[in-house]
A and B are shown apart, each in its own frame.
Chain A
């Protein structure tokens, strides 16, 4: 019952009642739980938004619906097994998890990975960023009710998925890394195939950049919404494209180049508006930067072996920190070895956790109809951390909304304005 969300002002002398105790004091808070089935990306997460009429006054988060206990599980597996386990933290940015882990373990082991292997890691990471950003573009367009853009961006995304499959044999868990190097080489036919994909996508991406910054209906949903100032972004600890859209120059590839990023430097992409539109523009411009990097790597791939001569089974005792730039922002690994073939502790802090804090802080003051876009704006990924909306009245009554219903409500809200 969508009408139930509106709090009627108290009217003296007129009793508003349908016979049940359905009267609400204007001072009462409506709490709208969203989830646990994930509101935007078909993944589970639970949010509670308290609303005053249609304006959000507070927000809280509950995660863990896809928490698989992976950090604990790593302590019962050896270093090699853990590579495959950690890669499965995420089905979108699987490679970056494996890469962060490998870089850390290799540092503890004191091995030097050959330059060709590091370049292929970076190549894969950039292909992954392309598919992740295009995936996000589609999801975000869908939440705004712009399904044409959703369909086209996902159609185009298939080409980069094909390139990844061509490279590794897999669309999702490419499993390019091994401890001490990579498994797959890039030969000339593969390189040509990737060049063709990049050429095609670059053309399409230009079109998308034009669409998201000029389509009147779409801009209505993004411009001036979810505005984060640079100061707020810093205070809230935002990272990745979300922070860069607010003018915060945070990109691990630039600030602390790892793997082969020293040899193929990244140009940081910044916007200053800090609204949802800026987040679109940052991510789309990052696609161009990824295309440039992919071409640079393919055009200048160092010769040499793909792996180190020998990778020890037991890793010397010690602690290390491995930071990499995932598509959503900084991914942080803390790895502690006790000198055996199993880790003592692996701590994974994924970018979504940082950026969700900003959603919770920014939601108050926004219309309920802006929530889907606000959430999707940070590109949340709960598998990395870990459908349906219920109107929850303080007197214990519930009115259930599906996520689709909230999304439709938001689209209608803007259509009817």
Chain B
């Protein structure tokens, strides 16, 4: 159908920000992008009506790699474009997409509390899911966070 067409449009929109494109699956486009270009990349997709932000995934690449990856998945019909940014595990900062995509707020609050990535410029950076009594500086979706059997 028009999957190829949608993906080609996304490629041409993101060309200026991306050194290369990957197609991990036929209906998907993966774009590695600099943190500084993320907002522009999202803006160009939104302004041209290319799909919607469907989810934000945080990935811990491990203590040794010392990096997180943050994946912003945009869906347009069958096509999925993922903007991937890499940030250091220590002091990682991504810009908030709130200005461009108001509904990004929830995804960003989740990302921040689960991974300890700072989302800069978010209007609400309070916790969304974690309990009030959850200790500061403990981020459960990091790979070095162990679930204890005793639980709490």
A386 within 8 A of B: yes
Cα separation A255 to B24 with both chains bound (whole Å): 20
User: In the complex, how many residue pairs between chain A and chain B have their CB atoms under 8 Å apart?
Assistant: 84
B126 within 8 A of A: yes
B99 within 8 A of A: no
Give the residue of A63, A72, A347 whose beta carbon is less than 8 angstroms from that of B57: A347
Q: Please, what's the 1-or-0 string for A224-262, where 1 marks a CB less than 8 Å from any CB in chain B?
A: 000000000011110000000000000000011000000
Give the residue of B102, B126, B127, B129 whose beta carbon is less than 8 angstroms from that of A357: B102
B130 within 8 A of A: yes
Taking a contact as CB atoms under 8 Å apart, the answer to whether A237 and B101 are in contact is yes
Residue of A nearest to B49 (CB): A234
B103 within 8 A of A: yes
Chain A residues near B128 (CB-CB < 8 A): 61-64
CB-based closest 5 A-B pairs: A64-B129, A237-B103, A349-B55, A256-B78, A357-B103
A105 vs chain B, min Cβ distance (A): 14
Subset of 26 A-B contacts with CB under 8 Å: A62-B126, A63-B128, A64-B128, A64-B129, A72-B141, A72-B147, A234-B52, A235-B102, A237-B52, A237-B103, A256-B27, A256-B77, A256-B78, A320-B24, A320-B25, A321-B25, A321-B73, A321-B82, A323-B54, A323-B80, A330-B75, A334-B71, A345-B59, A345-B60, A353-B107, A356-B106
The count of chain A contact residues (Cβ–Cβ below 8 Å) is 38
Chain A residues near B24 (CB-CB < 8 A): 318-320
Chain A residues near B145 (CB-CB < 8 A): 72
Q: Which chain B residues (53-91) contact chain A, with CB distance < 8 Å? A: 53-60, 71, 73, 75, 77-78, 80, 82
B36 within 8 A of A: no
B105 within 8 A of A: yes
A316 vs chain B, min Cβ distance (A): 13
B124 within 8 A of A: yes
Instruction: Say whether, besides A357-B106, A361-B102, A69 and B127 are in contact (CB < 8 Å).
Output: no
Chain A residues near B102 (CB-CB < 8 A): 235-237, 357, 361
Chain B residues near A7 (CB-CB < 8 A): none
Interface of A, secondary structure class, is: mixed
Chain B residues near A334 (CB-CB < 8 A): 55, 57, 71, 73
Cα separation A320 to B24 with both chains bound (whole Å): 8
Chain A residues near B57 (CB-CB < 8 A): 334, 345, 347
The count of chain B contact residues (Cβ–Cβ below 8 Å) is 37
Give the residue of B75, B77, B127, B140 whose beta carbon is less than 8 angstroms from that of A72: B140
B131 within 8 A of A: yes
Taking a contact as CB atoms under 8 Å apart, the answer to whether A323 and B103 are in contact is no
Chain A residues near B141 (CB-CB < 8 A): 71-72
Which of B55, B101, B124 has most A Cβ within 10 Å?
Answer: B55
Cα separation A67 to B124 with both chains bound (whole Å): 20
Interface residues of A (CB under 8 A from B): 60-64, 67, 69, 71-73, 76, 107, 234-237, 255-256, 318-321, 323, 330, 332, 334, 336, 345, 347, 349, 353-354, 356-358, 361, 385-386
Cα separation A69 to B80 with both chains bound (whole Å): 26
Taking a contact as CB atoms under 8 Å apart, the answer to whether B140 and A64 are in contact is no
Taking a contact as CB atoms under 8 Å apart, the answer to whether A321 and B52 are in contact is no
Which of A62, A321, A334, A357 has most B Cβ within 10 Å?
Answer: A321
Residue of B nearest to A386 (CB): B129
Taking a contact as CB atoms under 8 Å apart, the answer to whether B55 and A332 are in contact is yes
Chain A residues near B127 (CB-CB < 8 A): 62, 64
Chain A residues near B53 (CB-CB < 8 A): 237
Chain B residues near A76 (CB-CB < 8 A): 147
Chain B residues near A361 (CB-CB < 8 A): 102
Q: Please, what's the 1-or-0 string for B129-152, where 1 marks a CB less than 8 Å from any CB in chain A?
A: 111000000001100010100000
Cα separation A236 to B102 with both chains bound (whole Å): 6
Cα separation A360 to B111 with both chains bound (whole Å): 20
Cα separation A336 to B52 with both chains bound (whole Å): 22
Given A237-B101, A336-B59: 17 more A-B contacts, CB < 8 Å = A61-B106, A61-B128, A64-B128, A67-B129, A72-B140, A237-B53, A256-B27, A321-B73, A330-B75, A334-B57, A345-B59, A345-B60, A347-B55, A347-B58, A354-B103, A357-B103, A357-B106
Chain A residues near B56 (CB-CB < 8 A): 349
Instruction: Say whether, besides A62-B126, A64-B127, A347-B57, A73 and B147 are in contact (CB < 8 Å).
Output: yes
Give the residue of A323, A345, A353 whose beta carbon is less than 8 angstroms from that of B106: A353
Taking a contact as CB atoms under 8 Å apart, the answer to whether B130 and A64 are in contact is yes
Q: Which chain B residues (10-55) contact chain A, with CB distance < 8 Å? A: 24-25, 27-28, 52-55
Cα separation A64 to B80 with both chains bound (whole Å): 28
A251 vs chain B, min Cβ distance (A): 10
Residue of B nearest to A349 (CB): B55
Chain B residues near A385 (CB-CB < 8 A): 129
Give the residue of A71, A73, A255 whose beta carbon is less than 8 angstroms from that of B78: A255
Residue of B nearest to A358 (CB): B103
Cα separation A330 to B77 with both chains bound (whole Å): 11
Chain B residues near A358 (CB-CB < 8 A): 103
A72 vs chain B, min Cβ distance (A): 6
Chain A residues near B147 (CB-CB < 8 A): 69, 72-73, 76
